[in-house]
Structure 1
Amino acid sequence: MTPLAQIIAARIRATGPISIADYMQICLLDSRHGYYATRDPFGAAGDFTTAPEIHQMFGELCGLALAQAWMDQGRPAPFTLAEPGPGRGTLMADILRAIRIVPGMEDATDVALIEASAHLRQVQRKRLGAVRHLKTVDDVGYKPLFLIGNEFIDALPIRQFQMTVEGWRERMVGLTDGKLRIGLGEPVALPRAGRPGDIVEDCPEGAAFVEAVARRIARYGGAAILIDYGGWNGYGDTFQALRHHTPEDPLAHPGEADLTAHVDFAPLAAAAMRAGAQVSAPQRQGDWLRALGAEARAAKLTAAGDAAAAQALHRLTDPAEMGHLFKAIAIWPKGAPAVPGFTALEAHADDA
């Protein structure tokens, strides 16, 4: 057992099984043994590679999309440019470089990073300098908010429920013969249809985060772009672990593997609408990046001697790579122009 597995097992012996949400929270954020508290998980030497680490064009295109939204809303100044879960700071660095070409934008920008890991905060300061770090989106203040979130929601804790002959029961982490195992808790009321064996997932923190972001955008202006892998009103067990770029049992090495789940964009969109903002239909990452000019950007970089640009474009946009699995949604104030590459959800409600 890892040190964190021993701690979790002792807690279960003392108080009983814990939810998958509690298990994820402990594994990822425990101050001594948690995954994000003890390592840099990104890149070839880590456990996974995100889109900003693949090539600079991803961050540049995200930055220019936000820049166009900023101009479309009258160039508000000052404004907050925020990123939750910014990793090494690569995406934000590329965005800041891209928006330098937009007159007046750089001077109006107040950069804020929402990061829970003290270790990653240090990494981000080395990359970006003296940026403002926040604990939650509630701390961003009252300026227009332009926010980018890439692979942030997938790491937030989820709860899982399984349909049985007795109705929905929550899937819990318990102990069997001294080893961590998934079992079922007591029946719970869940307003969702299902057949025996069906599993559904709920990410309360994700919906709460989106609602808080959308509420600020609806009131003060701005825009948000959220990019992650997932779908719409999905069923199934998507709880997963990645260690050394290889999938493994999420219970195998607590604190030493990245834990995530596919994002259900439907409740996120509903949360944004509850907050009074406009939300887009989900777009496939490949389609969205192409709409922003990814192919032209890659061709220009290739002509300038960037040999990696064409391969990066393929990886970011091809349906068999990241192009279809990853989706993006955008949030903006009602009455404002849509964020580039997106259309309002109502226009595609049947296709979402």
Structure 2
Amino acid sequence: MLDFIYYPVSAILWFWHEIFGFVLDPASGYAWALSVVFLVFTLRALLFKPFVHQVRSMKKMQEFAPQVRSLQEKYGHDKQRLAQEMQKLQQEQGFNPISGCLPMLVQVPVFIGLFHVLNGFRPGAESNFVFGKEEVASFVSADLFGAKLSNTISQTPEVLAAFGTDRTSMLIVGVPLMIAAAIATHFTSRHSVQRQTAEAAQNPQTEIMNRMVLWVFPMFAIIGGPFLPLAILLYWLANNFWTLAQQRIVYTRIDREEAESAAAATVIDGTAVTTTASEASTTAAPTPEIAPAPAPAPASDAERTTAEPGEPARGEEAEDASPAPAATTDQPGDAPGVLEDRSRDNRPGESR
């Protein structure tokens, strides 16, 4: 039923065994172990871009978690309306929780396919998907320090003896692999948990999930390890080491991109503020203008009738009329416009 998965997985394993078998002995356990490890690396390399998309989607989900909770509180009683609003929010913000889980979902059938292919290496089997009879026999006889790659620790002594190994050899190789796989799983999960926002980490459901991925999932390697072939434990260990290295690379790149975007935004905002301030200073202090002198009020009819002949009416003086000399003044009783030189009063012997 899953031959579309089994054949590609076995083909990749066959490809790497051909390469390492050319360098090493094809029947060597090291050649088969390296083939399993590089099978993992190949599959994870193919899933690199979906993994980056997963990280970005999870980050967006954490950023918009408050809005999601607000919608849940507002439309919790109306499931249909809540689904519509959630879909609208996802479309507006450009993230999809399902696509964020895609890499993990893809790994599940790959793991099942690898497990099925490795279980197909049995003594006397004529073929195993793309592998022929001789290659099946080569894998069955391959061992690491006396432990067979296709066997499990929990198998009976009779079965182990039929494969040419014993429980002691399986424990010597299998237990360190289980412990290493559990430790690698723990640190991989811890690296992901540390990327969560403080608000998201305080969510009760998130706290429970964090405890599970930090402690329960690694225990699967310890509890389930004795029932898994050594080749699967190698797959588990290599997969977690790849994931840990990949997380560091992807998270570092995303952090650098965010830092560059923040720096660019700061420069743009700073320029905008400077420009605005310059414009504000220009408009706040306009160049003072000299107001024009008010026009003289028109003279009344009475003033016009009392003016002497030859004297301009009041209010109609010429704008370029010269001011009177400082040494002369008008005295009361003098005719309007007639100036009398008061210096004559100072002449000796003369009277007014």
Question: So what's the TM-score if we normalise by structure 2?
Answer: 0.23
Q: Higher relative CO (CA 8 A, sep ≥ 6), structure 1 or 2?
A: 1
Question: So what's the TM-score if we normalise by structure 1?
Answer: 0.23
User: Which structure carries more strand by proportion?
Assistant: 1
